[in-house]
Amino acid sequence: MGRFGTGFPAGRRRRILDGSTPPPPPPPPGVSEISPALAWDGTAGSGFASLPADPTRVTAKPALRLIVPPRQTFTDTLLIGVYAGANNAGSLYTNMGLSFVRVHYEGTSHDIAAPSYQSFADANGNIVSYFGWWAKLKHNGTNGVSQVYFEAVPSDATMQSRVAGPYTFFPAAALHDLELEVAPSQAQITGQRYQTLRAARDYARSQGANHPRITITEGGDLVFGDTVASYVGQGYLTYEASVPVTLTLDAATVATGTRADARFRSKYGRQHFKGANITLDFKHALEIYNESGLGSPPDWFDGINITNPNGRYDLWRGYPRSRKLSTLIRGRPWLTECSFSNVPYNGTSASLTRGCTVSQGWQEIATDCDCALGNVINDFNSGDYIAAVNAMQVSYAGAGATATLSCSGDWNSTSRTFTAKVDGSEVGTFTVNDSDADYLAGTNYTVQNVVDWINGLSGWSATLLDNSRFATAISIPGGNAGAFTDIDVMSAAFTFVTEFDIHPDFYQVTHVGKENGVLADNVGGGIVAQSLFMKDGPSSDFLVLNNVFDNTNSTQYLSQLGDDHSHVVIAHNSWTRQDFWLRVNVLGYNPDSYCLVANNTAPLLFWEDAADGEVTIAANHFHAGASDPVGATGSSFGGDEDTLFANIAGGDYAPAGALLTNLKSPVLRYDLAGAQRGASAPAGALA
């Protein structure tokens, strides 16, 4: 097993990477405990004389993101923290480029002087450690609703501070205000034990519970169900299980229903799924729904398993499950130390994806995630979906001199029309649709339906080769699942394929752009995707730090930047095999002077068009034969994926070869593994 293989617990940043025994790390600095001001009476915001306010952005600000979920209840102290940093004249080595981070807790302010690694037990009792700016909230004896703000103050005086919050937390006498049990084989005891999750949730709703817990005490499959009416409390409804349990959807309902029936939808806002005894089973599900009518309160998935046991290539009614969705979990969830397998959109649009593991992933990993920290990706490949599959063979042997077949639209169209022509004149049309009703009717949905129509035309013949994909995906080879016109089926039998035009990414900025984002300390192995695609909208105040992007396909995909960038810092990342392009004319890449691309390693960094001199490109290492990017300083060259890393095939990304002989002044103090970089260190994620 490699350094970052599946045998390593996700989220543990201080780790033994190669089996050796390192010197003990210095003890982390103590974390200060802070209590609310005396004015706080248990009402949210009552401790503040005036609320902290985030200034309107007119220039660069630090990036600052919460790395523990809010709305937690605590009875004594609660460790909270943020990941924060800013470019300070080309470096984040000292204090992540910040003077300090100030935490405001109901009228009490405390300055955190420096970031540190802090360790704590996750939902499954494993000790994990993360880098951030930390403090402990103290329960002062008053129960209620408290608010916390964080303020990052940059070392560069030309920048503005960033204030984030309010984040809500609950000092309380007990962690839960209602305890319920679910045991399907046991008799119901009202107010204590129920046979279904629905019944337990309904009781919690009827009591107006704010922090209830449901403990599942019998294993096996358990239908998730819904709730009679929508409801949300102040805090989370927590699910735990004392034995392994698999939460499922009712297969019969899903089989005869619509996409709306294929959702984990409880109608209960703000749920907390806790512990590895809980598995969410997606073989009958498309997504986890979030109640927009309740204000879309995000759920928290904490150390659980999220999987599709039918495997990564499990089509939904003949098409990829990602086709009509952009997320797996709606509502900007909090994801901590979860295990994902065989599902798409693992951390897409999440508020936080921390310490999760992904195996057999596909489509997107962390696109539009606010903060992706310390995740391990072992296998990410959408290739089975993208590959063309021979679907049908069509020929014509009638009296006409020519015969052609056309099709409108593309695979994302709700309907497509096939047109058969003989001697240039239309002899028949057939429209296929993608709706649930058409799937259930089974008359104009499948490749078989198209074959049957063709075989009903005089002189035409069609042979079914594969019926696993829906007919909306029919294409010509190399047609990218798009429309085709007047394909000759008379000169020789023509083989049509089905294709899905999927564009996978590790991280993408969506069309609305992104301000204040963090992508740090992640390890991606076995990736077949674009690692970084920061286009489709402006990107501002973004940190991409200490990541390994190990792309097994080095020719089909590349990382690329486009559109306006302001204070985007890309530093100490290891691209093992993927090129990195700055695309000015084609994608409109327009960086400002706060942008930094430094101490990375990649095959090459390439200005596709004229260079923009505002971004600082410094101290990167590129493969042998690469050209020095225009405007770059301190670049070095040599080696390739086979010589620059200790054992790339085994997942060991320790620097080797030319990385060790071309040391540079680092711009981050700590590497991906938590080791401190000295005055000189290799480019890339590991020192």
Go through the domains of the chain in sequence order and give each one's CATH number: 33-168 (2.60.40), 178-382+505-661 (no CATH), 385-498 (no CATH)
Beta bridge partner(s), residue 182: 194, 216
Beta bridge partner(s), residue 136: 33, 79
- Cα 80–chain centre separation: 22
d(CA 332, CA 517): 14
Alpha carbon distances (Å) from 188 to 193, 212, 219, 242, 548: 5, 18, 17, 18, 51
Q: What was the pLDDT predicted at 370? A: 97
Token pair for 507: 């991280």
Percent of the chain with pLDDT over 70: 96
Q: What was the pLDDT predicted at 270? A: 97
Token pair for 191: 């107010």
Banded pLDDT at 536 (limits 50, 70, 90): confident
Banded pLDDT at 609 (limits 50, 70, 90): confident
Instruction: Say whether pLDDT at 24 is over 50.
Output: no
Token pair for 242: 């004392």
Instruction: Say whether pLDDT at 18 is over 80.
Output: no
> Half-sphere exposure (CA, 13 Å, Cβ side) for 545?
31
Instruction: Say whether pLDDT at 15 is over 70.
Output: no
Chain-wide mean pLDDT for the chain? 94
d(CA 73, CA 56): 32
Q: Rg of the Cα trace of the chain?
A: 27
Helix (H, G, I), strand (E, B) or coil at 509: coil
Does residue 166 have a cis peptide bond before it, meaning omega lies within 30 degrees of 0? yes
Q: What was the pLDDT predicted at 28? A: 57
Beta bridge partner(s), residue 633: 618
Instruction: Say whether pLDDT at 513 is over 70.
Output: yes
Token pair for 349: 């649009």
Instruction: Say whether pLDDT at 16 is over 60.
Output: no
Q: Beta-strand (E) ranges in 457-595?
A: 460-464, 474-475, 484-488, 494-498, 505-508, 514-520, 523-528, 530-534, 539-545, 548-551, 559-561, 564-571, 574-575, 580-582, 590-591
Q: What was the pLDDT predicted at 556? A: 81
What's the pLDDT tens digit per position in 153-207?
999 999 999 999 999 999 999 999 999 999 999 999 999 999 999 999 999 999 9
Which DSSP state fits 332?
Answer: -
Q: Cα dihedral sign for 131, 133, 137, 138? A: positive
What's the pLDDT tens digit per position in 372-388?
999 999 999 999 999 99
Token pair for 473: 């995906």
Instruction: Say whether pLDDT at 14 is over 80.
Output: no
Helix (H, G, I), strand (E, B) or coil at 373: strand
Instruction: Say whether pLDDT at 280 is over 60.
Output: yes
Q: What was the pLDDT predicted at 511? A: 75
